[in-house]
Amino acid sequence: MRLDTIVDDQATRLHRHLSRYSARTRWFGIGRSIICFAELTVVLLTPSNALLIPVLSITDGARCDGVRAVSAFCVGDQSSGGEYARWLLVAILLVAASGYRPRWTVIPQTWAVFSIASSISVPDGGESISLIMSMLMVPIALADGRKWHWTKAERPSSPTWHAVSFAAFWAIRLQLAYVYLDTAISKFGVSDWANGTAEYYFLRDNMFGVARPLDGIFLELSKNPVIVVGMTWGALVVELAIAACILSSGQWRKVGLGLDVMLHGMIILTMGLWSFGLVMIGSAVIASTPAVIAPTPALAEPRRGTVLAA
């Protein structure tokens, strides 16, 4: 097969996928709102003196070295101990979560998430994923001129912005798939995960162990070797399946979303970790955005030979 034929076939295939893609759907809106709500719970339910508590060599207050200097906790008047900044972030995330004007609120949203991830004393994995996803959402939201991200788009986006948002959509899928793939594979190098006993110890951990009212049930179940091995290795299988599904077709992406909700729903019920679980679920919702029936922008079908000629 000639090289120009292969390239033209791939260009036609890319055009077909591009013409069926639209980020301006409720899927994007729901996923974005879940991520914003997850970060909102961090700053709304936690006072600034707990968010900025000294840890080891970290000085009292927010971390403001280097690029962290642009954080909300580092600019302006810091005499309030971060309380003014905290309520500013609450307001920004609340507006972003409401879905109002995604084109104009996505940059403040990203700044708010950056402020949380970079300045609080003990950020977790949820803050890091939330920041990455917020940054990758920027091109998608900038192409979204809707008043509310819950509504149906009335006009097609420009072909350029449509292509840029499609690239960002794929970046989100690749990033999320990598997170689950890396998480699962890295656990195989830990003896407790490899021998199937990790869940036994996690459920009994003083900090992240199972909480009431489900503690009695899970602690009793985990005494059975078959069940605890199934829980431990089952988590690894589910993480690998989520990674594979996210990179697959629309129907399989929905399967991956279901597995993601099940996995993090169980983690929330047993160990808490609400904000982390919601960030991962919100990211999976965006990554699972299905193809649309009708093309959104006016995209011309590529002609044979035009790709190499260009």
| Residue-level pLDDT at 300 | 46
State yes or no: pLDDT of 259 exceeds 90: yes
Q: What is the DSSP string of 169-187?
A: HHHHHHHHHHHHHHHHHHH
| pLDDT confidence band for 4 (50 / 70 / 90) | low
Tell me the backbone φ, ψ of residue 110, rounded to 5 degrees: -65, -40
Cβ atoms of residues 72 and 51 within 8 Å: no
Cβ atoms of residues 263 and 235 within 8 Å: yes
Structural tokens at position 188: 């195989």
Amino acid at 302: P
State yes or no: pLDDT of 120 exceeds 70: yes
Residue written as token pair 């808490």: 272
| pLDDT confidence band for 5 (50 / 70 / 90) | low
Cβ atoms of residues 144 and 23 within 8 Å: yes
**CA distance readout (Å), 226 to 2, 22, 214, 218, 232:** 55, 45, 20, 13, 10
Task: Name every residue whose Cβ is closer than 8 Å to that of residue 303 and which is 6 or more positions away in sequence.
Answer: none
Q: Output the CA angle 132-133-138, nearest 5 degrees.
A: 100
Q: What is the pTM of this model?
A: 0.88
State yes or no: pLDDT of 309 exceeds 60: no
Report which of residues 296 and 227 the model is more confident about.
Answer: 227
| pLDDT confidence band for 250 (50 / 70 / 90) | confident
Q: Which of 5-19, 206-220, 293-307 has the highest mean pLDDT?
A: 206-220
**CA distance readout (Å), 230 to 43, 242, 262:** 36, 17, 15
Through-space distance between the first and last CA atoms of the chain, rounded to whole angstroms: 20
State yes or no: pLDDT of 295 exceeds 50: no
pLDDT tens for each residue of 263-294 = 999 988 888 889 999 999 999 999 998 876 44
Please provide the average confidence, as pLDDT, over all residues in the chain: 86
Structural tokens at position 279: 């960030």
